[in-house]
Amino acid sequence: MREHRQGSLSPASPALAGRFIEDALRNPHNRALLAGLPALALPDAWLVAGCLFQSVWNLQGGRPPEAGIRDYDLFYFDASDLSAEAERRVDERVRRHFSGLPVTIETKNQARVHTWYAEYFGASYAASLCAQDGIDRFLVDCTCVGLQPGDGLPTLYAPYGLQALYEGVLRPNPRCHQPRLYAAKAADYQARWPWLRVLDSFAVPA
């Protein structure tokens, strides 16, 4: 397994990174998940994706930060057992641990994604070396975000920065070239947050 990447985990300015963490933590479910995650001792565990960036978009749209968020995704990385059964046991343990939260939690081992991705999505997927590799490959580049519990504030990972997220600009992720899947995902987001702008190329908007 690749050594966990430390240091600067986002090209975003410190001010924007701090704003993002503050906005994500205004969702009480995100706060609870990050507070409870260390007790599970999952290797390389991160709270990722929709529950974070959708909290930001909700706040920008004047809605409660937790409004309409369908599920809360946790990533971890355990290459010692790539079986679906092992992942299922972890998922069940996580759900029991957070049974007091009124949310749906999905827990996925990023070490095994390459074993099922092609069959499920019809495209190849290189084996990951850490959980952050999974964050790197979300369909929409500005949604590549994750928070990991730490001393004090959580650690932020946002490989594409945060500017497009706050501007509401959706672009396809060059690390996950799936035009059909991207179009469907972006359309779903725009239907829920109509002010978002969807681009169908990697061009920077004017």
Rg (CA), the chain: 16
At residue 201, the pLDDT reads 60
pLDDT tens digits, one per residue of 67-105? 999 999 999 999 999 999 999 999 999 999 999 999 999
Distance CA 143, CA 139 (A): 8
At residue 107, the pLDDT reads 98
Amino acid code (one letter) for 93: R
Q: Which residues of the chain carry a pLDDT beneath 50?
A: 1-8, 202-206
At residue 22, the pLDDT reads 97
